[in-house]
Amino acid sequence: MSIVVFIAVGFKQIYSKFKEAIIRKRYFSALVDSMKNAFFITLILACAACKPSIKEDENFLENLMRQQPEDFDSVLLNKDKWEVQIIYTQIDRDENNTPSFKSFYFNVDSTRYFYPASTVKLPVALLALEKLNHLQISGFDKFTTMLSDSVYAGQSSAHKDSTSESGLPSIEHYVKKILVVSDNDAYNRLYEFLGQRAVNDKLQQKGYYVKILHRLERPLSPDQNRHTEAIQFVKGDSIIYQQPMLVNTDSIFPYSISFKGKAHFKNDSLIQKPFDFSYKNFYPLTTQQKVLRALLFPESVASNNRFDISAEERHFVLKYMSQLPTETSYPAYKSDTAYFDAYCKFFMFGESREKIPASIRIFNKVGDAYGYMLDNAYIIDTEHDIEFMLTAVINTNVDEIYNDGIYEYSTIGYPFMRNIGRAIYDYEVSRPRKNKADLSAFKFIYDKP
């Protein structure tokens, strides 16, 4: 029962008893009884409303966290040391189900560098589907076999993919692996399909100030990252489309000269100097949520901010963004005990092995590397008809030594992501809405129930 309903029922009972006593001419007794009832109900309300209401202003997120000191005291105390940033966006629907958005921020600074890790994979996947759409080649689609050939230093070939149903690589399978379990090699192959220059130019043309400069989990030089593998798309023995090595002859300057920490490892040697992130990817939190919103609600953003993909491709992306590893047969994540429901769902569930309720779906892209942990998500609950967007980052590298593999993901990162996700979810469950949200557009039939 909501607090408002509780108050209404309580005072209705008080009035009824008072009126009855007056009729019986028990004025004084009625007054005393009413006062007793009023005190009793006030006491109950005080207990029921153990958390005071929070004003939805610029301090909303901080005040929300202060209500749960056991979960957030250390986060608030170390917000700058841990480089915490949070964006929470409420979504309300009008009578036509058109969404409107209201965002709240905590410690957000888009000029302050953090390592975006795997969150860069989402815009790259969308750009790959967009490029496929723009090529407009007959018989060429996301299912067409994609063969990569090494033609430059540091490159690697890919002619097979044992995790796909056909045993062959394709854009479709790479995108799926990115969205379900954040596969690094899949991202690298799409980066190579696009080329370094095109990735950055396209995103900036759409109004997203992003720097995507390198592949992931491959220690390549800036020069090697400017060169891509040669690619052929084939059907049987026929070449449908071929792309030579792409070379970015113009240097893409880093966002800023960014040094972090007090030391770092290089080739197993400890270097007593800060780690240089200057030529690492840059993808600020505000931009991450804007990209996600452009995918989820394209009609709510300017036309130049949208990704030019078909309705079918958008459906494909949203389906696999929200599909769990345990619902996926190709790759065989469903039968792999290394994968669980919350494997790439940091908000609300952290690293828990518990099963995610069927009514909750999380459309997101996570990242974790060098101690940074991120999640960029749209979360719905079809049982409670709620929806919201939440994007956050935290740095768990407490010893400030990079590349040592010692990060506090389990003790700081996962608990923070779980707790902030649940705090916002609980608030959303109790938040009144004028209109019920129709979330049917975000309901999908997944590969495996």
- pLDDT score recorded for residue 257: 78
Q: Which of 43-52, 171-180, 253-262, 266-275 has the highest mean pLDDT?
A: 171-180
Amino acid letter for position 19: K
Q: Provide the pLDDT confidence category of residue 53 given band limits of 50, 70 and 90.
A: confident
Region at 417 (left for phi over 0; alpha for psi -120 to 50; beta for the rest): alpha
Going across the sheet that includes 401-402, the strands are 269-271, 263-266, 401-402
The encoded tokens of residue 389 equal 């967007």
Taking Cα atoms as reference points, which of 437, 442, 384 lies closest to residue 97?
437
- pLDDT score recorded for residue 251: 73
Taking Cα atoms as reference points, which of 197, 210, 185, 281 lies closest to residue 246?
197
- pLDDT score recorded for residue 37: 44
For residue 169, cis peptide bond before it (omega within 30 degrees of 0): no
Taking Cα atoms as reference points, which of 292, 250, 246 lies closest to residue 392?
292
pLDDT at 60 over 60: yes
The encoded tokens of residue 283 equal 């993808």
Q: How far apart are alpha carbons 200 and 252 in whole angstroms?
A: 9
Specify whether the CB–CB gap between 195 and 246 falls below 8 A. yes
Q: Provide the pLDDT confidence category of residue 52 given band limits of 50, 70 and 90.
A: low
Please write the tens of the pLDDT for every residue from 358-401: 999 999 999 999 999 999 999 999 999 999 999 999 999 999 99
Find the mean pLDDT for residues 270-278: 94
* Residues forming beta bridges with residue 243, ordered by sequence position: 231
Taking Cα atoms as reference points, which of 387, 383, 409 lies closest to residue 396?
409
Name which of 80-94, 166-180, 250-264 the model is least confident about: 250-264
pLDDT at 16 over 90: no
Q: How far apart are alpha carbons 283 and 414 in whole angstroms?
A: 21
What percent of the chain is helix, strand and coil (3-state, nearest 5)? 40, 20, 45
pLDDT at 141 over 50: yes
Please write the tens of the pLDDT for every residue from 197-226: 999 999 999 999 899 999 999 999 999 999
* Residues forming beta bridges with residue 170, ordered by sequence position: 145
Specify whether the CB–CB gap between 281 and 215 falls below 8 A. no
* Residues forming beta bridges with residue 105, ordered by sequence position: 87
Please write the tens of the pLDDT for every residue from 396-405: 999 999 999 9
Residue position matching structure tokens 């429901």: 341
Mean pLDDT, all residues of the chain: 90
pLDDT at 26 over 70: no
Q: How far apart are alpha carbons 92 and 428 in whole angstroms?
A: 11
Region at 236 (left for phi over 0; alpha for psi -120 to 50; beta for the rest): left
Of all helices (H) and strands (E), which one includes residue 394?
A: strand 386-395
- pLDDT score recorded for residue 416: 98
Q: Which residues of 114-136 are buried (b: 16+ CB within 10 A; e: fewer)?
A: bbbbbbbbbbbbbbbbbbbeeee
pLDDT at 115 over 80: yes
Q: How far apart are alpha carbons 406 and 408 in whole angstroms?
A: 7
pLDDT at 19 over 50: no
DSSP three-state, residue 418 = helix
- pLDDT score recorded for residue 241: 96
Concatenated DSSP letters of 327-376: G--SS--TT-TT--TTTT--TTTTT--SPPPTTEEEEEEEEEETTEEEEE
**Rounded-to-10 torsion of CA 350, 447, 445, 353:** -20
- pLDDT score recorded for residue 9: 39
pTM for the model = 0.88
pLDDT at 274 over 60: yes
Amino acid letter for position 45: L
- pLDDT score recorded for residue 50: 52
- pLDDT score recorded for residue 11: 40
Name which of 38-52, 160-174, 250-264, 333-347 the model is least confident about: 38-52
Q: Provide the pLDDT confidence category of residue 51 given band limits of 50, 70 and 90.
A: low
Specify whether the CB–CB gap between 182 and 367 falls below 8 A. yes
- pLDDT score recorded for residue 449: 72
